[in-house]
């Protein structure tokens, strides 16, 4: 009952008491639209083998056909394991997912509704119908969606279909934040002070918040993963938060109940994994620190945490096990704690699942839909110590080739080289503390800037030289211009730099504002990744775009010399883990690792001074959609007076509700959208006078 592999595999791993397989480096295959790097995929398969099918007994009686009630990389993984075990699979999908990877992998597929999850992946009636139609004997819910829905588990039981995963009782107990908190209290687990009940309306929320004392956290009772969760520092924010959270909770989980608790300021987020079996045995594994979060979504995870001492670790582990026993937990699960600066820890929630598998649910050509989670890939690296794990992560991030979507690689890379992070001085507020105005991209040091300019200039000259290389069979000979020194003018961040470049085979000697650098590479101009050596320093750059008019966009992140970092005393294997997210929300940093440079020959640059500046649109009086999404609500109509910062409409994308506000005080001239509209990036929403 407790699952055909989730149950067995972790128990084998448990014998190692949380020691991870001694892989040198593990990486998942990422979204590579241009180049497929075989080495990484091989490593990825190793991961699935290790975590997916260890301990599987081929003679054990299994199901003939199961339905996988999930999507993306989660569904792919389940289907892959089923294939290995010779079990037929049925995928379900929404209409926008019809050609996604999991649908193609499965033996059968059933469309269960339109794109919004509440109408497809959460649509129990349609899924039950699909089960009947395909005669699946069991359902694997993956995680998220219906995996922790007690109603669904009950429906399945009524139809005599096996639910693969934790039993209804545990789901019921742990899937519901309110119930789980009560249970945790009973099991003598430390809990956060708060209100143990469902909040009726905004006014009650304010009353409770005042009782507990600000700041408070408002969260969806059925929630998880940061959705439907908001922090309020005063009455006003509580009212707003209540409204937005209940809308989000309703659309994401089909359940708009909310609860309120004390918000622990500056906490760390640390989770302990527990394993239980049907005989009442339970044990705990070492912790993972997940403090680096954006909007309560984990961004970087690390194990072991450099903050915990052995005593706290044991205390947390024991409480986690006590909780697992209390709910008769017979599967793998994760108990999340908040830890304050004095190492007090509080039970946050228990997830009836095991996290952290390494995979990618997309491949070149996959659609990434606005309707679902933004995560497109996870990356895990290991090292014999923390420094090594982080260095490998930085290298791996440089080697991701992603085109066509905005992503957060620059942020990830910046976080793992941040001095506070390196020292271990982190909390869940890390990102908002370090980047109070949002992440604006890596700040280049002078030498990094010179390197970037030298690489960009060399690339420019390499392109120019190649433009003269024609197959010589023409009637008329090509007479190449003889240019010994390329005098260039390179503009970066509105500053103009003088560059002189000369070329000898694969080596470019570049003088940037007077300082000389040697740039060596294979100069394969078709490769998405270019490995370049600048005066002996190895760099990986990507030329993302290039225009004839001299504009070039280059991804260049700058590797900090890791040998200078304080070495941290660590025992065992250190793991760093980060989630590669697709960025969709309005406060998201753009791909700031891209540097836009404009390179012109000196002559062109001199003449360019005479070119007139083009008039750009006044962006404060128009509101455009910053991302593709669905308009949830429009709170203004033409003629309304609005104040700067006032909410104009709400757009839901990637399951997050984003409040669009007025850029200036004025009168609404026209409204171009209405609730329910699907809008694209850059679509005009509202115009102000």
Contact residues: other proteins, CB under 8 A? 33, 36, 95, 98-99, 363-367, 466-471, 473-476, 478-481, 483, 524-527, 548-550, 600, 603-604, 607-608, 610-612, 614, 628, 672-673, 677-680, 683
CB of 478 to other proteins, least distance (A): 4
Which of 190, 196, 337 has the alpha carbon at shortest distance from 260?
Answer: 196
Q: Are residues 654 and 582 in contact, defined by beta-carbon separation less than 8 angstroms?
A: yes
CA-to-CA distance for 85 and 586, rounded, in angstroms?
44
349 part of the active site: yes
Based on C-alpha coordinates, what's the Rg of the chain?
Answer: 27
Parallel, antiparallel, or unpaired for β 216-220 and 258-262?
antiparallel
Counted residue by residue, the chain has a size of 689
For residues 1 and 478, which CB has a smaller minimum distance to other proteins in the complex?
478
Q: How far is the CB of 96 from other proteins (least distance, A)?
A: 9
Least separation in angstroms between residue 633's CB and other proteins is: 15
Q: How far is CA 506 from CA 454, 503, 532, 540, 646, in A?
A: 14, 7, 10, 16, 56
Between 53 and 366, whose beta carbon lies closer to other proteins?
Answer: 366
- 549 close to 604: Cβ distance less than 8 angstroms: no
| Alpha-carbon distances, residue 335 vs 3, 192, 328 (angstroms) | 20, 14, 14
Q: Between 109 and 127, name the residue whose CB sits nearer to other proteins.
A: 109
Q: How far is the CB of 453 from other proteins (least distance, A)?
A: 20
What is the full DSSP assignment across 140-205? Answer: E--SSTTTT-HHHHHHHHHTT-EE-SS-HHHHHHHHSHHHHHHHHHHTT--B--B--S-B-SHHHH
- Spot the catalytic one: 287, 289, 302, 349: 349
Closer to other proteins by CB, 309 or 547: give it. Answer: 547
Identify which of residues 444 and 686 has a Cβ nearer to other proteins in the complex.
Answer: 686
Q: Are 359 and 76 in contact (CB under 8 A)?
A: yes
Provide the 10 A C-beta neighbour count for residue 344: 13
| Distance separating alpha carbons of residues 208 and 186, to the nearest angstrom | 22
Q: How far is the CB of 196 from other proteins (least distance, A)?
A: 44
SS3 of 107, please? coil
d(CA 35, CA 403): 11
DSSP 610: T
CB of 474 to other proteins, least distance (A): 6
| Distance from the Cα of residue 194 to its chain's centroid | 30
Q: How far is the CB of 545 from other proteins (least distance, A)?
A: 9
**Residue 485 CB: number of other CB atoms within 10 A?**
11
- What are the residue numbers of the active site? 349
């Amino acid at each position: 009952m407790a699952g055909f592999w989730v149950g067995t595999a972790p128990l084998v791993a448990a014998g190692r008491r949380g020691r991870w397989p001694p892989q040198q480096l593990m990486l998942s295959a990422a979204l590579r639209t241009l180049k497929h790097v075989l080495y990484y995929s091989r490593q990825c398969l190793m991961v699935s083998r290790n975590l997916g099918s260890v301990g599987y007994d081929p003679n054990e009686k299994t199901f003939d056909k199961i339905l996988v009630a999930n999507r993306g990389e989660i569904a792919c993984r389940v289907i892959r394991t089923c294939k290995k075990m010779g079990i037929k699979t049925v995928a379900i999908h929404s209409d926008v997912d019809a050609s996604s990877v999991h649908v193609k992998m499965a033996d059968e597929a059933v469309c269960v509704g339109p794109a919004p999850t509440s109408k497809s992946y959460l649509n129990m009636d349609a899924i039950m119908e699909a089960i009947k139609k395909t005669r699946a004997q069991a359902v694997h819910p993956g995680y998220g969606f219906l995996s922790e829905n007690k109603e669904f588990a009950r429906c399945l039981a009524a139809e005599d279909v096996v639910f693969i995963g934790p039993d209804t009782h545990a789901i019921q107990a742990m899937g519901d934040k309110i119930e789980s908190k009560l249970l945790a209290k009973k099991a003598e687990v430390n809990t956060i002070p708060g209100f143990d009940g469902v909040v009726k309306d905004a006014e009650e929320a304010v009353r409770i918040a005042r009782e507990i004392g600000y700041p408070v956290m408002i969260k969806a009772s059925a929630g998880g993963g940061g959705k439907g969760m908001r922090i309020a520092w005063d009455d006003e924010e509580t009212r707003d938060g209540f409204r937005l959270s209940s809308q989000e909770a309703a659309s994401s989980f089909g359940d708009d109940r909310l609860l309120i608790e004390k918000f622990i300021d500056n906490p760390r987020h640390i989770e302990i994994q527990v394993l239980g079996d049907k005989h009442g045995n339970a044990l705990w594994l070492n912790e993972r620190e997940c403090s680096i979060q954006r909007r309560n979504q984990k961004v970087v995870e690390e194990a072991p945490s450099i903050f915990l001492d052995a005593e706290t670790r044991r205390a947390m582990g024991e409480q986690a096990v006590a909780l697992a026993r209390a709910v008769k937990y017979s599967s793998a699960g994760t108990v999340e704690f908040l830890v304050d600066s004095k190492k007090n820890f509080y039970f946050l929630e228990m997830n009836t699942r095991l996290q952290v598998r390494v995979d990618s649910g997309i491949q070149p050509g996959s659609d990434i839909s606005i309707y679902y989670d933004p995560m497109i890939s996870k990356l895990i690296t290991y090292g014999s110590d923390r420094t090594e794990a982080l260095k490998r992560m930085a290298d791996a991030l440089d080697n991701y080739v992603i085109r066509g979507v905005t992503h957060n690689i620059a942020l990830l890379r910046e976080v793992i080289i941040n001095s506070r992070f390196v020292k271990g001085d982190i909390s869940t507020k890390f990102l908002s503390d370090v980047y109070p105005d949002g992440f604006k991209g890596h700040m280049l040091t002078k030498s990094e800037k010179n390197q970037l300019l030298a690489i960009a200039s060399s690339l420019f000259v390499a392109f120019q030289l190649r433009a003269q290389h024609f197959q010589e069979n023409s009637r008329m000979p090509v007479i190449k211009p003889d240019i010994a020194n390329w005098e260039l003018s390179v503009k970066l961040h509105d500053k103009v730099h003088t560059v002189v470049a000369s070329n000898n085979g694969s080596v470019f000697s570049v003088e940037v504002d007077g300082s000389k650098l040697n740039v060596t590479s294979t100069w394969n101009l078709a490769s998405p990744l270019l490995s370049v050596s600048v005066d002996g320093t190895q760099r990986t750059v990507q030329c993302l775009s290039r225009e004839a008019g001299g504009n070039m966009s280059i991804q260049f992140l700058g590797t900090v010399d890791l040998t200078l970092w304080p070495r941290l005393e660590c025992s065992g294997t250190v793991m760093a883990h980060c989630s590669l997210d697709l960025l969709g929300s309005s406060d998201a940093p753009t791909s700031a690792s891209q540097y836009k440079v404009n390179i012109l020959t000196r002559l062109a640059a001199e003449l360019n001074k005479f070119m007139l500046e083009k008039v750009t649109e006044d962006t404060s009086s128009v509101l455009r959609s910053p991302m593709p999404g669905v308009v949830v609500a429009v709170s203004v109509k033409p003629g309304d007076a609005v104040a700067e910062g006032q909410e104009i409409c709400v757009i839901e994308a990637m399951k997050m509700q984003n409040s669009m506000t007025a850029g200036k005080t004025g009168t609404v001239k026209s409204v171009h959208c209405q609730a329910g509209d699907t809008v694209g990036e850059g679509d005009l929403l509202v115009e102000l006078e």
